[in-house]
Amino acid sequence: MFKRVLPSLTAKDTAIQLLSRRDHGEYELYQKLIYKGFDEKAIYDAINFCLDHHYLDDLRYAKSQIRQHVYKGHGELRIRQDLQQKRVADFVVDRAMEEEPQDWFERAKQVADKKFKGQKAEDPKAYAKQVRFLQYRGFRFEQIEYALNNQSD
């Protein structure tokens, strides 16, 4: 039996392969290529190739991440924090937020209604627990207050 030897992939091939599965941020792609052992020059060449051919786009990636987070019931603060951790530039995040507008007050209300089944907290301890849950989800206090005071019955 002959063993077929496949040529090893270049950084560019690997980058294209990764991007064909899902969008990545520039930093995330860079990290994955470093992890796979490619040298800096090959990585920068691959990233520049992907940018030039619009395979890699931080704005498109940020908008995709926003949609995913909104679907999971996360608020603006959590989304922004996640994108900052993925090193997406603040101006890109701001633009993505503008292009994927949300009514964060209504989103917080929907999340609260789903989690708490429209039941208002009966005591301060239960109210604090609901507030903490919505804070963890990334909603601002004004949005949380609106959500908890306007729950469906």
Give the model confidence (pLDDT) of 59-92 as tens digits.
999 999 999 999 999 999 999 999 999 999 999 9
pLDDT in tens, 98-153: 999 999 999 999 999 999 887 888 888 999 999 999 999 999 999 999 999 886 65
Cα→Cα distances 113→11, 19, 33, 126, 146, Å: 47, 37, 42, 15, 12
50 token code pair: 């992907």
Cβ within 8 Å of residue 100, ≥6 positions away: 63, 66, 67, 70
Phi/psi zone of residue 74: left (φ > 0), alpha (ψ -120 to 50 degrees), beta?
A: beta
CB 96 within 8 A of CB 63: yes
